[in-house]
Amino acid sequence: MKNLDRARFGPWAVVTGASSGIGLEFARRLAASRINVVLVARREDVLHEVGRELTARHGVEHRVVAVDLTDPDAIERVARATDDLDVGLVVSNAGTAMSGEFLTHDLDGLRAVARLNVMANLDVAHHFGHRLVRRGRGGLLLVSALGSGHGVPNMANAAATKAYVTALGQALHAEFARTGVSVSVLLPGPTDTPVLDELGFQRDSAPIKPMSVEQCVAEGLDALAANRATMIPGRVNRVMNTVIPARITSAMTGRMIGRWLRPGTVQPAGDAR
């Protein structure tokens, strides 16, 4: 991918869930485009380490916001930490997943997933949407999931919450069309991040090879630069999503999760992907 246009998407970008996986790779790609980064996640020590790496390698500035995005006042804390910055891009990547049959989980756990996947994305999109529209240029990239287009057995709640993210992003893409602000939704399939290990993904016996995080993020940023409403990274994923009926995809995915993921595991909230 080409570097992002700093005049359009800089000089600062905010990345949530920036401590590992997809969020970390977004931060690295943006820094390589000479865009300063605000790193948002729970693990402050890890964020400082990432920030030092990006500053040393690319000469960009960084700012760390250690916050649990499930907290009711999280968006206020992020706002206070960024109000003095000219933010041209927001990557709302923080999210969580919990595998296993729906009724095997307690309600508090399911609600925690919903708070992070739904309310945090709502808060980020609303706060920074106002700022970007007033600015008249920039971008908002929401990270959803390939399974958000249909129900996914053995990950019912997580897929349902990601459906909200997809629908929100598609609607904002249309609403912001005349404002100069690009809005895209990235819908990754299985991606080679620490989350797969945390969820018990058995790489050696799984029928699908996870996509590299570099390819996933590169295609997401390319889609944002082109102001595409949605992007499913990976040609095979796009073809399968087009030709296979949703009900079959849902059943196949549910069986795969039931067989190749360890039931009852949950990704740490606030440090997505």
Domain-wise residue ranges, the chain: 8-260
Please, what CATH class does the domain formed by 8-260 belong to? Answer: alpha beta
Report the predicted TM-score, pTM, of the whole model to 2 decimal places.
0.88
CA neighbours closer than 13 Å in the CB half-sphere of residue 1: 21
Q: Do residues 61 and 88 lie in contact, with contact meaning Cβ atoms separated by under 8 Å? A: no
Secondary structure of 196-232 as H, E, C letters: HHHCCCCCCCCCCCCECHHHHHHHHHHHHHCCCCEEC
Q: For the chain, list residues with pLDDT below 50.
A: 263-273
Model pLDDT, residue 203: 58
Which pLDDT tens digit goes with each residue over 8-39?
999 999 999 999 999 999 999 999 999 999 99
**β-sheet with 230-231: strand ranges across:** 62-66, 36-41, 12-16, 87-92, 138-143, 181-186, 230-231
Whole-angstrom CA distances from 193 to 20, 128, 196 are: 8, 27, 6
